[in-house]
Amino acid sequence: MDGLPIGCPLSGRRIPADPLGRVEAVRLTEFRGLMQLQFGSARAPSVARDHVFSALGGLTADEALAAGEDPKLVWAAVCEAFDVSEALRYGLPD
């Protein structure tokens, strides 16, 4: 987790994952799909890449995901920051 801001909630944290990455892959795919539903296919990658989320310790969604954060937690930060509808808020699988 090198390079994360001091006090970042991700510092020193490791997210347990399926050794084959199956659960995380499903969640990441679902996260990208929900981003497209919320922002559209053209804007979703820009929001994930460029918008800094205070709930993610000053990281973008892409940075948090690359650091190993659970896509469900990243999606929750997006929902909070952008007032996502209730219909989309609970879209990621457990």
Q: Is the dihedral of CA 32, 38, 43, 46 positive or negative?
A: negative
In whole angstroms, what is the distance from residue 88 CA to residue 35 CA? 9
CA distance 24 to 69: 10
Q: What is the mean pLDDT of each run of 10 residues along the chain (94 residues)?
A: 46 46 72 95 97 97 95 94 89 65
Is the pTM for the entire model greater than 0.85?
no
